[in-house]
Amino acid sequence: MARQLSALDAQFLNFETSSNLAHIAGLAVLDPSTAPGGEVTRAALIELIKERAHLAPPLRRRLVQVPFRLDHPYWAEDREIDFDYHVREIALPRPGDDHQLGEQVARLHSRRLDRRRPLWELYLIHGLSDGRIAVYTKVHHAAIDGVTGAEVLAALMDLGPEPRRETPPPESEPDTPPETVEMIVRGSAASWRTRGRRCASSRA
């Protein structure tokens, strides 16, 4: 069964507004000449993530809201991830200096993630000076923390120039959230428990 968000993870969703964002991000500036074939392409990044997505669960999960928001949402496994949406490609205008890169990353970071999809995006940025490229990745804090972030990096990155090959796992049943009626029942029970604790606390 799908995993339910903890109270802390749900808070990262609840306090988010158009101006108060709750995703975290990383920026890597790379020399593409050390990559296989001497370049880094969007197609190669997509293939890499597809091949290793089973090692990075946060990249495969999407939110499922409980009806009437009676309880915290659930994570459900998305077996039809639109990688063409999640992995994007842009280029800086000349001269492609670090100031321009910072401005572009700031614009990308200011946009909220689409909650109808797994909560991550990756941008391949061309046009940096000296032939460099950049990879900017953002993931919602509800989906990832320091430990899981390190695990995702370890799954996607290689220690040497030659990429390792991953064997896909055997097909298994996807993690699915409870049925709608069950979510309502569970959510109602959780709501009453919360009210009971609040009443007990106020009397104390």
What is the maximum span of the chain, computed from C-alpha positions, in angstroms?
70
**Where in 79-132 does DSSP place strands (E)?**
87-91, 120-126
Tell me how many degrees the CA angle 126-131-135 measures, rounded to the nearest 5: 40
In sequence order, the 6+-apart residues with CB closer than 8 A to the CB of 126 are 89, 90, 91, 92, 133
Q: Is residue 148 within 8 Å of 6, Cβ to Cβ?
A: no
Q: Are 119 and 12 in contact (CB under 8 A)?
A: no
Examine the residue annotation and report whether 54 is marked as an active-site residue of this protein. Answer: no
Rg over CA atoms, the chain: 20
Task: Check the CA dihedral 136-140-146-150 and report its sign.
Answer: negative
Which residues is 75 bridged to in the sheet? Answer: 63
Choosing from 86, 126, 140, 141, which is the catalytic residue?
141
Which residues are known to be catalytic?
141
